[in-house]
Structure 1
Amino acid sequence: MQPLLSLNGVNKQFGALTVSDNITFDLPKGQALGIIGPNGAGKSTLFNLIGGALPPSSGTVSFKGADVTQQPASVRCRAGIARSFQIPHPFVGMSVYENLLVASSFGGSGHRNPKEACREILDRTGLLHKANRPAGSLTLLERKRLELSRALATGPELLLLDEIAGGLTEAECHELVETIQGIHASGVSIIWIEHIVHALLAVVERLIVIDFGKIVAEGEPRAVMSDPFVQEIYMGISVDDQAA
């Protein structure tokens, strides 16, 4: 079966600095993939390459069998790739509901009834009671929920989540995980970058570890997290310490 997303030999350099080094992987339709790695490993750059915010220096990005390597983020969004950002930037002068309507209108969602779809999304993400509030009045945690809602309003087939659980309490994180599980169960494919590993492992079926811009481990999530090499680069647990 043709993968939903395919990266083949993707590289990104800024001058002499290589931030993505020969990234190659496929994402089957319907899969939830987690990506972890130390700070500065190149995770957010990888999202920028997938979402179209950055063009690769070399290599190809394909979505639903079409080469989108040179396509901008707006085209990829309308094709079905949506992203939430680590630092939310809503339209602060608009209401929460209006933020979703803009995303639905310009993201190529294909919703038969965009207004009702936006209402249902706000209900799923716990923001329905804030629908008529100005987005600029939301707390940071509520803005994160709005980021997720706006991404969903575009009607994505692939949802990119960039550290969306950061800053949440344990209870809020649990609620978020349940929301994301429901989104995944509805058929949306997910790639999720996250430092809160227990939240990630509750959702994803596959895990990729990136270090210095390279994929250094990949596979079943708990097996990957048990790898001594992964524990050393990600959690600072050296192989010698484990053997002691």
Structure 2
Amino acid sequence: MSALLELEGVDKSFGALKVSDDITFSLPKGQALGIIGPNGAGKSTLFNLIGGTLPVSSGAIRFDGADITRMPASSRCRMGISRSFQIPHPFVGMSVYENLLVASAFGNADHHDAEAACRDILDVTGLLARANRPAGSLTLLERKRLELARALASNPRLLLLDEIAGGLTEGECHDLVGTIQGIRDQGVSIIWIEHIVHALTAVVERLIVIDFGKIVAEGAPDAVMSDPFVQEIYMGISVDDDAA
């Protein structure tokens, strides 16, 4: 299976502080990849590097074979890289539907009928009944769904999800997982950062663990989550305590 996204030796530093350290991995087309790690490990920074809102200090990023390392975020979006943000910031004075039309206009726009495509996305994300509501009036779950809907409206080939399940109830989280699984079934490749591990592992087929800006584990979700080192750095379970 050919790679859609490839990172090779990607570093990011702010002065003497290195926040991404020799990040190397590839994402095959159609795969869903999960990323976990402690707070401050560099996960969201990685998304900023992939999306182009931060420049890399060194290394290379390729998307579908093209070198996008120095490409601006707007160009990457038009190529098909889209993301949600951990804290939703919709255009609160616009309607839910208008928020999607804006995303569609500036994204990977090959929709023959952008208005119809946006209506379909609202239906998929459970927001069709809220289409004409001001975005600023939505609940947290609805804002999370709008964040996802806006990312989809740009017609992505690669969808980056940053803790989209955070703050939701168990039932809301279950519903959101079903929506994301449906998006994946349509062939969209996904990289998902999430602290709610059971939601993540319900969708992804591979996990990467990041700590202090470095990849420290990678593999099938069950194998990664049973690794004593991962349990220690991510869940605070000491290897010695576990053995006792």
Cα shift readout 1:59-116 (whole Å, capped 9, x = no counterpart): 0000010000011111000000000000111111110000001111111231121111
2:150 corresponds in structure 1 to 150
Query: 1:35-184 maps to which residues of 2 (within 5 A)?
Result: 35-184=35-184
| Cα RMSD (Å) | 0.7
Is contact 1:8–1:24 with CA below 8 Å preserved after alignment? yes
Contiguous gaps of at least 5 residues in structure 1: none
SS in 2 for 1:4: strand
Q: Secondary structure at the match of 2:142?
A: helix
Q: Is the 8 A contact 1:5 1:61 kept in 2?
A: yes
- The whole-number CA distance in structure 2 between the counterparts of 1:147 and 1:109 is 18
**1:2-61 CA distance string (max 9 Å, x none):** 310000000000000000000000000000000000000000000000010101000000
The residue aligned with 1:220 is 220
Distance across 1 between alignment mates of 2:88 and 2:109 = 21
Question: Which amino acid counterpart does residue 74 of structure 1 have in structure 2?
Answer: S
Q: What is the SS of the residue equivalent to 2:71? A: coil
2: CA distance, partners of 1:139 / 1:109: 29
Query: What residue ranges of structure 2 are gaps of 5+ in the alignment?
Result: none
The amino acid that maps onto 1:162 is D
Q: Percent identity?
A: 80
User: 1:131 deviation in Å?
Assistant: 0.2
CA contact (8 A) 1:2 1:65 kept: no
* Distance in structure 2 (CA, Å) of the matches to 1:112 and 1:170: 38
Q: Which residue of 2 aligns with 1:211?
A: 211
Summarize deviations over 1:118-138 as a string: whole Å, max 9, x none: 111111111111100011111
The reply to whether residue 19 of structure 1 matches residue 51 of structure 2 is: no
- Paired residue for 1:199? 199
In structure 1, C-alpha distance between the alignment counterparts of 2:216 and 2:144, rounded to whole Å: 30
In 2, Cα distance between the equivalents of 1:106 and 1:243? Answer: 54
User: Matched residue of 1:231: which SS?
Assistant: helix
TM-score, normalised to structure 2, is: 0.99
SS of residue paired to 2:3: coil
**Residue type of the partner of 1:109?**
A
The alignment partner of 2:91 has SS state of coil
SS in 2 for 1:175: helix
Q: Deviations over 1:176-232 (max 9, x none)?
A: 000000000100000000000000000000000000000000000111000000000
What SS is found at the alignment partner of 2:111? coil
Q: Does the aligned pair in 2 maintain the 1:109–1:156 contact within 8 Å?
A: no
